[in-house]
Structures are given as C-alpha cells and as structure tokens.
Amino acid sequence: MTNNGRMAGILAHPTSFPSPFGIGDLGPSAFEFVDWLAGAGQQVWQLLPLTPTLEDGSPYKSPSAFAGNPLLISPERLAEEGLVDAHALASARWPFSDEASPVDFVWVAAAKRSLLERAYGRFKKGAGPDELGEQFEAFCRAEAGWLDRHALFMALSDANQTTDWLHWTHHLEWSKDVIEGPVDSLGADSGPLADGVNFHRFAQFLFFRQWQQLREHAHRRGIHVFGDIPIYVSHLSADVWGNRHLFELDPVGRPLRVAGVPPDYFSATGQLWGNPLYDWKVMRADGFAWWNSRLQAVLHLVDLARLDHFRGFEAYWAVPSAEVNAINGEWVAGPGDELLAALQQTCAARGQHAPVFQGGLPIVAEDLGLITPEVTVLRKKFGLLGMSVLQFAFGDDPDVRFLPENVAADTVVYTGTHDNNTTLGWYREEVGNHPETLKQLARYVPADTDFSWEMIRLAWHTEARLAVTPLQDVLSLGSEARMNTPGRESGNWRWRFSRHRLTDSLQRRLLKLTERAKRV
C-alpha cells in the first residue's frame, strides 16, 4: 500500500465485457481487462453483484443471495477443459451480433443453459480434467449450507417453469415445509429432481471455479476486487423460500410489507423495490447467523463489498404490500449496532479487513440519498467508508457534501455510479440547458475540454481514500452507454464495450492521471 492507501479503480461489470456469446463472461476478455487495469495504475476493480439474474438482467433481483451467475461462465474456458466440443461452442454464438452487442438476457439464458447442460452431460461421462470429479464433490461438501437449498429451489423452478414458489404445483412433495436442513434430508438426491439438483450444483461449481481463477489473476496483478451486497433479497428466491421465518410474510408466504425508499434524487414517487422485509427480531435471536453467512459468502468472492442502501440498517422505509408506489411508507428502526457488531466480530476472527485502509470491516457503506446524522454516526462507529458522487454536487438541488473540496478522506468518490447517467450523458442532457449549473461547473471544469476526463480528474484529486469511475466515463461515452435508469422497467444492464476501445494510449493517459493524483 502506497501514498497512505490512496487508491483508484474502475467500475465495470463482467456482463459488459466483449465476447462472441451475447454477454460478457469470465473468459479471455475478463483477464485482458484486469491486465489493462494494472497497466493503467489502477488498484481496484469494482463490479455489481455476481449473483444469478432473471429475465430483466438486474443483478439486484436474484433467485439467490449466495449463488453465482451461470450466465458469466465462459464457454471458451469450458472448451479448453473438454467440457464442450467445438460444435457446441459454435452453436452458442449469437449469429447476428458482434462482440459488443447489447445483452439480450432471455436469449442468452436459453443459449447458456443449453451449453451448460451439454457440459454437464459430458462431465457425467468423465470428460474434463482428471481431478474435476473430486473437486466437484469437495465443492458440494464445502458449500452445502447454501448450495443444496439453492439447487433444489432451481430444480423446482425448472419443473414449475417459474421462480414464483407461491404458484408451484409440480413436485410439491419436495417443498411442503420450510427447508431447515440439508436437501439430502428430503431425498432430493434420489427423487425425480435428483438430476436437476445436481445440474445446478454443477453450474455453481463451474462459476466459482472460473471466478476464483480470475480473482487470483487479479491479485497477482495487484488488483483488489470490490463487490456489492444488495441490502434486500428477492421474494422469488431460495433465500426467502427456504428461510420464511426470517422475513415478514403472511401464513401463505406473501410479504406483509415491502422495501423501498421515499422520494429522492432518482424518483418523485420514491422507489418501490417490492422485496420482503427482514424479521429483525427473529434474526437477532440467533445472532444474525444468516447475515453473517451472507457476508462471508460475498467475501469468498471479493476483497471489499459495497453494502447497498446502508441507510436501511439504521432505519428502513416499510411500505404496505398493497401500495403501488413508495410514497405511503414509514421509517422503522433497523438493527444498527447489533448487526454490524456481529459482522465485525466474525470478520475480525477471520482476519478480514478492508484493503483500502488498515482495520475496519471490509465494507463500504452506500450512504446516498436522505442521510440522517444517526446514519453517519453508525457508519463512522464501525470505521466504514462512505460514498460521494460528483454529479450530485451540481444541479437544481446541489449537495455541497459532494463538491470536490468537501469530499472526506473516509469516502469512496465517484464521478457517477451504475444508477447515474454517464458523465457525458449527464452533461449533455441534464446540465447543458441549465445556465446556473453550468456556472457552478465552470469553477471546476474548463470550457471546451473532454468533460468526462475532467470529472475523473476532479475525483482523483479529492481527499477520498478511493476514487472510482465507471468504465463508460473513461471511454467518454454518452447516455447510450448508461447501465441502469432507476424506475425504468426494461432496457437496463445491457451495455457492453468493444475490445478495441481499451487502447494503449487510453491506458497511458489513465496511468499518468493516477500518478499525478498520487494514487499509485
């Protein structure tokens, strides 16, 4: 660690990588991206949650908080190990796309599922490296605590053609009660779902195997991996289905109240997320065991994790499930100190600390939006870095906390996040027609300059311990490259970039800026 731990990094989710298979994955492009980061003097690679996604591709709406996303499994690496043949690999290609076409999650899910089924079939016949069978069995034993439940949930979802477990009709003998023990105790390994359960175990094995190889490569290149933990989980998930007692549900299993946020930066009616709320009284009774397991599962994949919507641990917005928007909710006290103390104790016992500063939980608190003094006190008490977003420092309702000169050292500063427009898109569409905002910006950004890079420069020269910018800003892309628009139902998470965009000259430019900002 150099320069008092000041670091810089890039936010880019693996789905955005170039590949000939309709979606970015953990194959050659991922390794090339890590190498490019290292050559550009970056020390942190930030990404979105790595959990499975559904049809809309949102990494914040997953059937599992513990599993990995099978869509990220690299077909090329499967072929290298003999788990798919050349014909299967070719048939998985999207014939009318190029390496950077926007992701069609429905198409990709079907194609990748077919490919993984072929790989599983070959694996059962002995294909792959000699040690693969033993490694698979060891993985299943080590991860049984979440893996068995997830695999059975997915096999039941396949049988019923939906993850909506409230409407399952097939194989109900396997899911009459809340699952509290291993899947084996229900006989799933010898029943009609046995092969489906084992397929989903195998898919998880492949994901974790490929991911750990990529993460080890990142570590060899001096790159810390910065992940993400959504505060809530989806109702249509193995987490809720298999742990119903931990959530606010009615006797049938429907949410009593759901999560969201009141009106904020992004929406005049708030955001109605729809996730079931935790029953914190029940979780408190066993020392927050589920949350401890969840954090440990994430830290098995990454070195540092952004805890999304940190505000909700001090107090959360609870909305009656019948509401159509998030306006008519109420603030309810969260688990606060008790939960974080339990997580801190577990991390300390395992020697897990944040890589961007000495000591403290390996967590960054997403403390954007309506933040009370109590939230800040809670964050600082446990030594967590907060967040600053430069785009929020300007506009009709500027937040002076995020002005470059006001960004605190115990912060991760961003030009924008995955929920923002790209910096160039923001400038063109949200700033350009507002003379007062342009006047504010003129104090920091010279006229007729590369606006995205000027904002990166501002971020890099703040006092923040870590400065991060989305890859779209490094590439000076407009709103066509936006990753997510909160409140929009479709069309999100699809952006990808072409391999040729990560040039040597761009790498040298970023390295030079990072060196001047003393973040190398």
pLDDT tens digit string along 86-123? 777 876 666 556 899 999 999 999 999 999 999 999 99
DSSP 428: I
The DSSP element (H or E) to which 471 belongs, if any, is helix 471-474
Which band of pLDDT confidence, cut at 50, 70 and 90, is reported for residue 266?
low
**Which residues are 249's β-sheet partners?**
255
* Residue 185 scores a pLDDT above 70: no
Of 94-103, 354-363, 394-403, where does the model show the most confidence? 394-403
Rg for the chain (alpha carbons), in Å?
23
pLDDT of residue 409: 94
* Residue 428 scores a pLDDT above 80: yes
pLDDT of residue 188: 60
Average pLDDT over residues 453-459: 97
CB 6 within 8 Å of CB 189: no
pLDDT of residue 97: 66
Contacts of residue 23, defined as CB under 8 A and 6 or more positions apart, other chains included, come to 15, 71, 72, 103, 105, 108, 112, 496
Pinpoint the alpha helices (H) of 242-363.
280-285, 289-299, 311-314, 336-349
- How many other β-carbons are positioned within 10 Å of the β-carbon of residue 269? 13
Q: Compare 87 and 435 and report the one with higher pLDDT.
A: 435
Lowest-pLDDT range of 359-373, 412-426, 455-469: 359-373
* Residue 1 scores a pLDDT above 50: no
d(CA 462, CA 464): 5
* The one-letter amino acid at 252: V
- How many other β-carbons are positioned within 10 Å of the β-carbon of residue 89? 17
pLDDT of residue 178: 41
Q: What is the pLDDT of residues 342-357, one digit of tens each?
A: 999 999 888 888 776 5
pTM of the model: 0.94
d(CA 39, CA 89): 31
pLDDT of residue 287: 96
Average pLDDT over residues 309-330: 95
d(CA 341, CA 351): 15
Q: Which domains does the chain have, with CATH numbers?
A: 1-229 (3.20.20.80)
CB 34 within 8 Å of CB 217: yes
Average pLDDT over residues 217-224: 97
* Residue 174 scores a pLDDT above 60: no
The DSSP element (H or E) to which 71 belongs, if any, is none
CA torsion 4→5→7→12, rounded to 10°? -170
Which band of pLDDT confidence, cut at 50, 70 and 90, is reported for residue 406?
very high
**Which residues are 306's β-sheet partners?**
228, 364
Q: Compare 171 and 313 and report the one with higher pLDDT.
A: 313
pLDDT of residue 458: 97
Residues across the chain: 520
pLDDT of residue 205: 98
* Residue 374 scores a pLDDT above 60: yes
Q: Compare 183 and 218 and report the one with higher pLDDT.
A: 218
E strand intervals along 129-266: 224-229, 257-261
**Which residues are 225's β-sheet partners?**
45
DSSP 15: G
Which band of pLDDT confidence, cut at 50, 70 and 90, is reported for residue 62?
very high
* Residue 175 scores a pLDDT above 70: no
pLDDT of residue 337: 96
Q: Compare 273 and 358 and report the one with higher pLDDT.
A: 273
The whole-chain average pLDDT of the chain stands at: 92
CB 417 within 8 Å of CB 391: no
- DSSP state letters, 131-154: THHHHHHHHHHHTHHHHHHHHHHH
CB 416 within 8 Å of CB 390: yes
* Residue 432 scores a pLDDT above 90: no
Average pLDDT over residues 386-409: 91
- HSE-CB at 409 with a 13 A cutoff on CA atoms is 6
Average pLDDT over residues 306-320: 96
Q: What is the pLDDT of residues 154-173, one digit of tens each?
A: 999 999 999 999 999 887 66
User: Which is it for the CA torsion 269, 270, 273, 279, positive or negative?
Assistant: negative
Residues classed as catalytic: 308, 366, 419
